[in-house]
Structure 1
């Protein structure tokens, strides 16, 4: 009850205002490159961590460009990368996609992609390896040099010329900073040993990414995708059979299981079994010619 001489004020609760919506970068015309790259990435099964890394690399390059335009003194970023993971986990595919993005962003003068292996760097006599390695880096100038199974450079013992290739690569990275991007890839344990061969190696790779093995469900999705690329369909009734086969092979192979490569082999083998099965008939419908059944696996 109000007392005489007093004014009673009723405070109305403030209406809650919704926070301002964050602008959607996807609608910005500057980011069409990232949209194109992410469309490519969406075609890949799994690799969630890689998709985050690619977006971070794009954002860093974009903002770095804006800093330069704003007159902020900006040093070139070292973008050399180390990819580790078991076979068939997408390391080479990722390297190609990242190289394509850097080309579109004009981070590198040319943006071409060179894929190399031990034989492209290691020579047959003293001095030959250093020259081969320097020549390869020269070809990669303004682009991306990708060396798969880089740990193979560490094989052969003390008298092997692989160590010379590693030392030459380190020197080239020092002499030509920001003029090319080197991406090394290989299996986790072997690459850990590889990094111990030269004290300057580890610090030369500010970006390191590990590619996880695919789980059974992701591998089945890869199987469907692989089959479709080859104009086959996997029968719905065959799914549990194929899932069990993938799980069994993954367990049996252990660290030797080659992820996507094993799946491609499974589909190719199933296609051969299907061909034998269909040979027993004289007429075939289009559906039959496309369908892979449980018995084919």
Structure 2
């Protein structure tokens, strides 16, 4: 209610002076509370984006985040100004090899969309085929419904989503897809679904189900990390744990990663592989250092080439 309307209410005897003061005071408190909440949300949004910026590579993803943030804010402003708005459908497909950051980005998206007001909770519920598909008629629909309910307010992340379409006509995967589509429609205001998996398999999956593909307007390809980016990721992982690589250890790690890529392809030489190598090196380093008679701070921190086992 505007001030002029309050004055008219008082003049017409419909509101007392005391009531008008109480109303103005309540309105002022509500406005202040809203401003505080908006400021908190802006700060949290900055924190989420800073978390994203700290990730190595993923330049296209960072650009996409800026686009989505701008799109959501402008649609909200257009709605406030009673202009036509585009539907805020944020269901996505993530295509990429293991260890390219798909789950990490999905988790950050949950936090981002919560601060933008699209999700009430922003948590990530990660599932795969076994969590959605049952063993008898009726079991699958209930399992999929349960997964959706647990994801409400956040993101339902389905890894290796193409496995739902494998198994032939007698398989219950199609039942899960049907239940998933219904759940997306019923909970469109507080649920985002992300389908993820290997690039080629995801493309084939979407081609065989165009109806499903159209429900996921945002499709993101996750590039494999370069070897230099993998070394940078290794250094960040070690820095978080207060370790560091010697120059010779860095050279050895580079050679190990290059060899893995050459032998097994990029899916065997991404961030997940780096994490495994680093965690193993830390354990081997502990075995090496514990035998020393005098252990100095530098000994506790430095990873040497012999700590990396081929």
TM-score computed with the length of structure 1 as normaliser: 0.83
Matched, 1:169 2:180: yes
Q: Distance in 2 between matches of 1:78 and 1:182?
A: 10
Q: CA RMSD in A?
A: 2.1
**SS of residue in 2 equivalent to 1:114:** strand
**What is residue 79 of structure 1 aligned with on the other side?**
90
**SS of residue in 1 equivalent to 2:57:** coil
Unaligned runs of 5+ in 1: 1-28
**What is residue 97 of structure 1 aligned with on the other side?**
108
**SS of residue in 2 equivalent to 1:192:** helix
Report runs of 4+ in structure 1 exceeding 6 Å deviation.
Answer: none
**What is residue 290 of structure 1 aligned with on the other side?**
301
2:162 aligns with one of 125, 147, 151? 151
In terms of fraction of residues, the more helix-rich structure is 2
- Alpha-carbon displacement from aligned partner over 1:60-119 (angstroms, at most 9, x marks no partner): 111111111111132532110000100000000101111101111111244343222222
Q: CA deviation at 1:260?
A: 0.6
Q: CA deviation at 1:34?
A: 4.2
Between 143-152 and 216-225, report the one with greater CA deviation: 143-152
Q: CA deviation at 1:131?
A: 1.9
Q: Distance in 2 between matches of 1:270 and 1:112?
A: 32
* Contact 1:167–1:198 (8 Å) recurs in 2: no
**What is residue 13 of structure 1 aligned with on the other side?**
none
Q: Evaluate the alpha carbon distance shift between residue 67 and residue 254 of structure 1 in structure 2; reply closer, same or farther with a 3 A threshold.
A: same
**What is residue 270 of structure 1 aligned with on the other side?**
281
1:211 aligns with one of 222, 227, 238? 222
**What is residue 146 of structure 2 aligned with on the other side?**
135
Q: Distance in 2 between matches of 1:279 and 1:174?
A: 58
Q: Distance in 2 between matches of 1:230 and 1:205?
A: 38
* Contact 2:99–2:267 (8 Å) recurs in 1: no
Q: Distance in 2 between matches of 1:162 and 1:191?
A: 15
Between 130-139 and 60-69, report the one with greater CA deviation: 130-139
Q: CA deviation at 1:238?
A: 2.4
Q: Distance in 2 between matches of 1:107 and 1:56?
A: 15
Q: Distance in 1 between matches of 2:237 and 2:272?
A: 10
Q: CA deviation at 1:45?
A: 0.7
Q: Distance in 1 between matches of 2:237 and 2:121?
A: 32
**SS of residue in 1 equivalent to 2:285:** helix
**What is residue 133 of structure 2 aligned with on the other side?**
122
Q: Distance in 2 between matches of 1:68 and 1:48?
A: 31
- Alpha-carbon displacement from aligned partner over 1:35-57 (angstroms, at most 9, x marks no partner): 32221112211100000011111
* Contact 1:120–1:133 (8 Å) recurs in 2: yes
Alignment of 1:1-297 (within 5 A): 32-297=43-308
* Contact 1:141–1:180 (8 Å) recurs in 2: yes
Unaligned runs of 5+ in 2: 1-38
Structure number with greater CO (CA < 8 Å, separation at least 6) is: 1
* Contact 2:92–2:216 (8 Å) recurs in 1: yes
* Contact 1:121–1:136 (8 Å) recurs in 2: yes
**What is residue 25 of structure 1 aligned with on the other side?**
none
